[in-house]
Chains A and B, each alone.
Chain A
Amino acid sequence: MNLTLFVWRQEDANAQGRMEKYEAQAITPDMSFLEMLDVVNLGLIAQGRAPIAFEHDCREGICGSCSMMINGVAHGPRPATATCQLHMRHFKDGDTLHIEPWRSKAFPVIKDLVVDRGSFDRIIQAGGYVSVNTGNAPDANAIPVPKVDSELAMDAAACIGCGACVAACPNGSAALFTSAKISHLGLLPQGGPEREIRVLRMVEAMDEEGFGNCTMHRECEAVCPKQISTNFIARMNREFLRASLKHAKT
């Protein structure tokens, strides 16, 4: 297969970026999307040109490093698939692809397709944990957890923190990411004691980082490689309202 690529190139955070055109030649259908970029980069290096910087690591869809818009869609055309797990068999010979970094004010570009997602870590720092020090734990079976709750918590906890939800959202909202952590911990008895303070702090941190508000476009759910449901955003809103009312009284 041969494809034409238009790729966002930007030397560093302060540089003016632009789209550049490349030809991707001798691509085979079994290659992953990132392997296709590897091939393009080898070609660029051979010509003495700077290879395209892009984030990647595990290449099996779990570390959440890879992050690119492919023809305007976060992680490309396949549902429930991170870019590293997208294979070239889903494209046709002669296709033209536009490849850009995540687009969001809260994810500034560092270079080419690499963005800074430190804002996600700071949302977690605000309360995305159970405050239990090492060594304090009771026996693991001391508190039974209903299987349905535990399964639902796991659905939320499956988030890989890639940021596709933010990139896809017309408002640049991090509601799906934040609500997934709030729901994961809020659904479990272990997360119970901090349930209210957690949602208040994490929502506040989300706003401070410059993410937009959620107006339920549900674009996030559509591109999420782990199919995290927007039901969790509804859950976050309920939790937030409940906690706000309770804490407003005191």
Chain B
Amino acid sequence: MDLNSQVPSGPIEKKWDQHRFEMKLVNPSNKRKHTILVVGSGLAGASAAASLAELGYNVKCFCYQDSPRRAHSIAAQGGINAAKNYPNDGDSISRLFYDTVKGGDFRSREANVYRLAQISVNIIDQCVAQGVPFAREYGGLLDNRSFGGAQVSRTFYARGQTGQQLLLGAYQALERQIHLRKVQMFPRTEMLDLIVIDGKARGITARNLVTGTIESFVGDAVVLATGGYGNVFYLSTNAKNSNATAIWRAYKRGAAFANPCYTQIHPTCIPVSGHYQSKLTLMSESLRNDGRIWVPLKKGDPRPPNEIPRQERDYFLERKYPSFGNLVPRDVASRNAKQICDEGRGVGPTGQSVYLDFAEALERLGEETIREKYGNLFEMYERITAENPYKVPMRIYPAIHYTMGGLWVDYNLMSTIPGLFVAGEANFSDHGANRLGASALMQGLADGYFIIPYTLGNYLASTKLEKVTAEDPRCKQTEDGVSALTHQLLSINGQRPADSFHQELGKVLWEDCGMARSEAGLKRALRKIPEIREEFWKDLRVIGANEELNQELEKAGRVADYMDLAELICRDALERAESCGCHFREEFQTPEGEAKRNDSDFCYVAAWEFKGRGQPPALHKEALHFENVHLTQRSYK
């Protein structure tokens, strides 16, 4: 397998400009002869579909939801980063680049990250032009706030609904192209396989979720923008139906899967309250601007938080990391909360949470200002927990939130299958071993608005493609495979619903491949997962038929893929015998308990190649070279 990153030569600040000049173009009148399939309609998918259609390509866009507006990007709360330096506080493209590489614990590709920082400024311009109502100052100009891992304020936001507003901007651009008949939209349609012809991605096989019809769609290139795979853990902050099936089936068709073990745990989520729990709810990282995280100094202190005097509280992040305080990166904040709870100093009925306290900010800024900044988040918290955070501190605990790993892509965002492009959270590209807050929205939109429209054109202009129709026998073959799998899931006739297997699998992953990992734990997980999978294929119960709207069947197909993916995650985590970012191996830590990297042995991207059912996957390595930043031990002290 060839892992050529295709990073252009030359100084880092010139690479993207030079590359844009060198890329081949498709003549405007030829663009309408090409059809491009975009799977997923979140920030990356909707922005790519709209931008490609604006250029003149024919686009077919697919999503499993009833409308592209419901993609899970909509739930992002806090904000989007950009190196605008409007606050005049010392930000620059170089600083955003450096913060992102450092935040990712030096496990990302320098050239990609630099390009992301460059493009960040265009994204804000584009979104404002679309009518995204970002927060403003009284003078009418845009406001910024701070996020973890940065000492400047570079985060643009729209109350606590930034993702919603950015997605609606991209969605509206997409709907405009649908109106202009340049995009054909297929909602309630789930991709179940990738069609590879002559070594190139030429289409997808999908199931109509209302009628059950299995159908193939062909084109000249495929863009996967189907999001991350955090739901493999069962409990996560992802939407219930977010899934890994599209990327996983592309992996089985030959796309390398990179760094699957880089899964991010968000420090500020509402704690688990019971077994029935179906998902976890995030409280935006922006709350850490004004909220202070603490636990009682004394183990098992029974007093309500308001009665514990200041000197008997441990503001553990401020104590350990005085320069970043409560705004340390997510991996550091999460790990510290876990350590505190493991020591027995956690609070709440389960002891599995810490306080996030606004008392001081309320005193300093007044309730009105706090309401303006975080009102909807406070309401959301109260709705779920029945506690009023204006009166008592919030209780928070880490939860699975984002996956930095994903399909391997080169500088052009093309996977190891020619013609298969991957955008947004679905690819592995920019965040290394840990993503900084407010960077996911930035990356999704950078990929969709400003990268794929260029690099995909270059691919089409420099590739000879044979004519393919959906009646091609090779499409039929893929359809038969999908039908056979569906039939298999429906005919097991066992006792247990898909959810119960999913829950069991998630628990194994959370315990042995969650916030802290060890060789023994990972080996245990690698023994348990095949057992759960075997049970799944023996004892699954799916009620109903294929030819109807069947939510249990949808779930079963996704859980089948999670079984295999979970195994790859653990295998990757075991192979990476170092700690970096969110991947914390207990055996490898500094005396202060921080992640200890091993740059001489592990400064690479681990890209896994599918070798067939029952065969171990092959590991390929893309070495990472750092020419512009100096590899150091991350310090936020």
Interface set of A (CB-CB < 8 Å, partner B): 11-12, 28, 30-32, 34-35, 38-39, 42, 44-45, 48-51, 53, 55-65, 80-81, 85, 87, 89, 110-111, 114, 116-118, 120-121, 124-126, 128-141, 143-147, 150-151, 153-154, 157-158, 160-161, 184-185, 188, 190-191
CB distance from A97 to the nearest CB of B (A): 18
Residues in A with CB closer than 8 Å to B135 are 150
CB pair A48–B176 under 8 Å, yes or no, is no
CA distance A101 to B532 in the complex (A): 37
CB pair B544–A125 under 8 Å, yes or no, is no
Q: Is B261 part of the binding interface, using a Cβ–Cβ cutoff of 8 Å?
A: no
CB pair A153–B67 under 8 Å, yes or no, is no
Q: Please, which residue of chain B has its CB at the minimum distance from the CB of A36?
A: B276
Once A140-B124, A141-B141 are accepted as A-B contacts, the answer to whether A161 and B75 lie under 8 Å apart by CB is no
CB distance from A150 to the nearest CB of B (A): 5
Residues in B with CB closer than 8 Å to A147 are 136-138, 140
Chain B, 217-248, CB within 8 A of any chain A CB: 239-242
Q: Residues 94-135 of chain B: 1 if any A CB is under 8 Å from the residue's CB, otherwise 0?
A: 000000000000000000000000000010111111110111
Residues in A with CB closer than 8 Å to B126 are 132, 134-135, 137
CA distance A176 to B595 in the complex (A): 52
- Where chain A touches its partner, the secondary structure class is loop
CB distance from B21 to the nearest CB of A (A): 16
CB pair A65–B66 under 8 Å, yes or no, is yes
Having A32-B384, A59-B239, A65-B70, one finds 11 other A-B pairs with CB under 8 Å, namely: A28-B274, A51-B543, A51-B552, A63-B75, A121-B69, A121-B187, A128-B175, A134-B173, A143-B128, A150-B135, A157-B168
Specify which of A30, A38, A116 is in contact with B273 (CB 8 Å cutoff): A30
Residues in A with CB closer than 8 Å to B47 are 134
CB pair A134–B51 under 8 Å, yes or no, is yes
Residues in A with CB closer than 8 Å to B384 are 32, 85, 87
Once A60-B380, A137-B129 are accepted as A-B contacts, the answer to whether A144 and B139 lie under 8 Å apart by CB is yes
Q: Please, which residue of chain B has its CB at the minimum distance from the CB of A27?
A: B276
CB pair B172–A111 under 8 Å, yes or no, is no
CA distance A143 to B75 in the complex (A): 28
Specify which of A42, A111, A143 is in contact with B497 (CB 8 Å cutoff): A42
Specify which of B67, B75, B86, B140 is in contact with A117 (CB 8 Å cutoff): B67
CB pair B66–A81 under 8 Å, yes or no, is no
CB distance from B69 to the nearest CB of A (A): 6
Q: Is B281 part of the binding interface, using a Cβ–Cβ cutoff of 8 Å?
A: yes
Q: Is B3 part of the binding interface, using a Cβ–Cβ cutoff of 8 Å?
A: no
Chain B interface, number of residues (Cβ within 8 angstroms):
79
CB pair B187–A118 under 8 Å, yes or no, is yes
CB distance from A106 to the nearest CB of B (A): 14
Chain B, 33-52, CB within 8 A of any chain A CB: 47, 50-51
Complex interface: stretch among B156-164, B394-402, B601-609:
B156-164
Ranked 3 nearest A-B pairs via Cβ: A144-B140, A129-B172, A137-B129
Interface set of B (CB-CB < 8 Å, partner A): 47, 50-51, 54, 65-70, 72, 74-75, 84, 86, 122, 124-131, 133-142, 158-159, 161, 164-165, 168, 171-173, 175-176, 178-179, 185, 187, 210, 239-242, 273-274, 276-279, 281-282, 379-380, 383-384, 386, 449-450, 453, 497, 499, 541, 543-544, 548-549, 551-552
CB pair A134–B449 under 8 Å, yes or no, is yes
Residues in A with CB closer than 8 Å to B187 are 118, 121
CB pair B67–A157 under 8 Å, yes or no, is no
Specify which of A80, A132, A145, A160 is in contact with B130 (CB 8 Å cutoff): A132
Q: Please, which residue of chain A has its CB at the minimum distance from the CB of B238?
A: A58
CB pair B122–A137 under 8 Å, yes or no, is yes
Interface centre among A55, A133, A136 (most CB of B within 10 A): A133
Specify which of A58, A157, A185, A190 is in contact with B165 (CB 8 Å cutoff): A157
Q: Please, which residue of chain A has its CB at the minimum distance from the CB of B125?
A: A137
Specify which of B75, B128, B137, B158 is in contact with A190 (CB 8 Å cutoff): B128
Specify which of B173, B281, B379, B380 is in contact with A129 (CB 8 Å cutoff): B173
Residues in B with CB closer than 8 Å to A62 are 74-75, 161, 164
CA distance A82 to B450 in the complex (A): 35
Q: Please, which residue of chain B has its CB at the minimum distance from the CB of A49?
A: B543
Q: Please, which residue of chain B has its CB at the minimum distance from the CB of A80?
A: B379
Q: Please, which residue of chain B has its CB at the minimum distance from the CB of A156?
A: B133
